Structure 1
């Protein structure tokens, strides 16, 4: 689960992290009032959306007076940034930046622990640094039984600063950020950039947090901040119907029974040059109602050109699945091609029932994947 920058800043402030006061505004007049309350010679206007790249998209601007502020707020509100529409902006004091740094805590599956990542190359181009100069990003595994004691925090801070005074200040920031990360069951807590100002202060001028969906029930106040996108709403709806669904954005819709088989099906589509539209595990049921709901979910994605149904009959019998599919598609009217592969218990009987129907039948996963990609093209 993601939250906005201004919401993450509030959590940062509650844990004593160095963030300045800022206001969230949904229209120009609110922004003007915030500007006067801040009483600063220079303010920053920042779009609040659940995506990165705001600065490069024109969603972060500086304003030195009310006229400039009005212009920037009017231009940024309702801007489209990577498919997200801006409906609110953050207004805060601008700071005199001497240098920028990157700091984050994330879950690392390789070390099976939290890692602290720090770099002297913070700012908008941190992704490019990670791609071209990964050695500039230092990764420090955190033992969950020890956490971030003083010696480890200072060791990490020395990766950013040589001045012992700055090292001590930064070490405290690392410890507070880790406590926030653990206390809230976060999967990411990021400051990019952490800045050293011309006045010698260290400040967090951006804040980003995401949380483990499986633990969010323990944090009702954070859960209340959830603003699902349309695709996330689909995923929630699918979950309520007993499906596991993740939108992926490709052209070939997948309906599969079993998570492992679903992953293999997506790999097969990629192998033949296609792009899966989704991950969808419908479980072991051949219930026509469930198939109808799953199909409606797939067809609600306008990018889907082909549907690939891949069923392994273990306890579920393939002939029962075939009957369920025939009954389901008597109720669903669509011109989208449907590729079906049935294998396992009573697979011959299942395929025999589907012979002569509108479905494209395949005997192997390879054949099914190849046929789906050809039809999508």
Structure 2
């Protein structure tokens, strides 16, 4: 599932995080592993939860209309929900190029499941989070539809301010949790977890009470909370977010939806989990960047951003926007820089037809600015760079780096600081 920063913002008491920063939640710039973030389909996350004893809806997965029909019959449920499986939100309001509207459908007739699956499988589904052409649906989830009497929000995440995991919950679930935090912060509850002790019984019960569960449901919810923490540890998660964690009219506590983020540095011991990753929807440029230990995220502007560090990337994107420009991407060089990485980065950026200027913003701590400068000059010559290039370098070996750039004879615009770099990058496009 797509990565969410909502619970992280809520846990820190943040208000109204800017949308442009939320896309950076996908980046692994703060991690040392070069691998891109791990994407799991909804049914895969639910399978992990199911294997840990967490209560989820009964479900099957199908790749053909006939298999979907058979699954619907096997469920023998009063009502069935059919969900297209893609790694994007907004499926319910999406549109297929088959003409079918909606990637989520409810029905009481198993035969209808087969008919709907026939209009989903093999067709592209377009939502607010997909490319314009949509994403081809190769799998559908056929699940038992359950009525929800009440919805709550619950998450476990790693929080640096707490030096470990923290539980975050709210009795207001099934909605935008950031909005709840902004308008009614008193409805957000936190419990810091001792990494050595785990979730204590009284903590789980207190959270269940704060979520509004009453009577027998209180103990049932506490049990689900503890099992979710067991899953959190078992799969080396950095976040398990359940929205909604609901109760049914029959008196069951059920995890109706979940987003799980994983620690990429634990891949060596989570081989089965990482083997589940669906790469079919991955951006080819992001995958190519990962081969060279680069972290790339494409945006829709025309000024390429080449930086080192997620924080610097956000600042660079914001200042470009402040001066009237639009970032085309951010590409994070990371820490252990090599000359070839810089060359490959420029190769990726120059291949993007949207890019009309490149802004390099490197603040060298463990990054050697001279190595970056050598990579820049090599790339400019060998790739015959045709777009304006603005470079701002500060930090380790910066004087040597500036000498390399100035003596290269290349049309590189040096910048004194980030603000100066952004101004020059935006102006270079305006002059065209």
Check whether TM > 0.5: yes
State the Cα distance separating 1:179 from its structure 2 match. 0.8
The Cα of 1:364 is off from its aligned counterpart by: 4.4
1:274 to 321, 325, 346: 325
Aligned to 2:48: 11
Stretches of structure 1 lacking an aligned partner (at least 5 in a row): none
1:374 equivalent in structure 2: 427
CA separation in 2, counterparts of 1:369 and 1:302? Answer: 20
Aligned partners of 1:286 and 1:316 also within 8 Å: no
Choose 304-313 or 152-161, whichever is displaced more: 304-313
**Count of residue correspondences:** 373
Greater RCO, CA 8 A, separation 6+: 2
1:226 Cα deviation after fit: 1.6
Match of 1:21 in 2: 58
Matching residue of 2:116 = 72
Task: Give yes or no for contact 1:129–1:136 (8 Å, CA) kept in 2.
Answer: yes
CA contact (8 A) 2:294 2:341 kept: no
CA contact (8 A) 1:31 1:73 kept: yes
Task: Say which SS state the counterpart of residue 79 (structure 1) adopts.
Answer: strand
Summarize the Cα distance change of 1:363–1:104 in structure 2 as closer, same or farther, 3 Å threshold: closer
Match of 1:138 in 2: 189
**2:404 is the counterpart of 1:350:** yes
Cα distance in 1 for partners of 2:257, 2:369 equals 54
Find out whether 1:190 has 2:236 as its counterpart.
no
Deviation of 1:365 (Å): 3.8
Q: Do the aligned residues in 2 keep the contact of 1:38 with 1:93 (CA within 8 Å)?
A: yes
Task: Within 5 Å, give how 1:232-271 maps onto structure 2.
Answer: 234-235=285-286, 237-241=288-292, 243-249=293-299, 250-256=301-307, 265-266=316-317, 268-271=319-322
Question: What secondary structure sits across from 1:255 in the alignment?
Answer: strand
Query: What is the CA distance between 1:209 and its match in structure 2?
Result: 1.4
Conserved in 1, the CA contact under 8 Å of 2:313 and 2:330?
no
Q: Using the alignment, how far apart are the partners of 1:348 and 1:290 within structure 2?
A: 19
Superposed CA deviations along residues 83-108 of structure 1, whole A, max 9, x for unmatched, are 16233211011112212222221122
Measure the CA separation in 2 of the matches of 1:335 and 1:89: 45
1:76-155 residue pairs with structure 2 within 5 A?
76-77=120-121, 78-81=124-127, 82-83=129-130, 85=135, 86-155=137-206
- Aligned pair 1:168/2:211, yes or no? no
Q: Deviations over 1:136-185 (max 9, x none)?
A: 23222212122111111111111123523110111111111111101211
Alpha-carbon distance change, 150 to 256 in structure 1, aligned in 2, over 3 angstroms: closer
Task: Say yes or no: does 1:157 pair with 2:170.
Answer: no
- Give the TM-score of the pair, scaled to structure 1: 0.85
Cα deviation, 1:253-284, whole Å, max 9, x if unaligned, reads 23356888767655643553434421332768
Q: How big is the shift at 1:313?
A: 8.4
**Does the residue aligned with 1:345 lie in a helix, a strand or coil?**
helix
* Aligned mates of 2:77, 2:47 — CA distance in 1: 20
SS at match of 1:292: helix
Q: Distance in 2 between matches of 1:134 and 1:60?
A: 32
Post-superposition offset of 1:38: 1.1
CA displacement, residues 307-351 of structure 1 (integer Å, 9 cap, x when unaligned): 123467899686x87665444333214432222346632466435
**Would the alpha carbon gap of residues 286 and 178 (structure 1) be closer, same or farther in structure 2, given more than 3 Å must change?**
closer
Change over 3 Å in CA distance of 1:37–1:316 after alignment to 2: closer
SS in 2 for 1:91: strand
TM-score (norm 2): 0.75
Larger Rg: 1
Check whether the contact 2:308–2:333 (CA below 8 A) recurs between aligned residues. yes
C-alpha contact (below 8 Å) 1:257/1:312 kept by paired residues: yes
CA distance in 2, matches of 1:152, 1:317: 49
Equivalences for 1:264-303 in 2 at 5 Å?
A: 265-266=316-317, 268-276=319-327, 277-281=329-333, 287=339, 289-303=340-354
Distance of aligned partners of 1:148 and 1:235 in 2 relative to their CA distance in 1, 3 Å threshold:
same
Q: Note if 1:59 corresponds to 2:103.
A: yes
Structure 1 residues 10 and 264: alpha-carbon distance in aligned structure 2, compared to 1, 3 A threshold: closer
Structure 1 window deviating more from structure 2 (14-23 vs 306-315): it is 306-315
1:227 positional shift: 2.2
SS of residue paired to 2:407: helix
Structure 2: gaps (5+ residues): 1-37, 95-101
> Secondary structure of the residue that 1:294 maps to in structure 2?
helix
Q: Secondary structure at the match of 2:156?
A: strand
Q: In 2 relative to 1, CA 153–7 (structure 1 residues): closer, same or farther, beyond 3 Å?
A: same
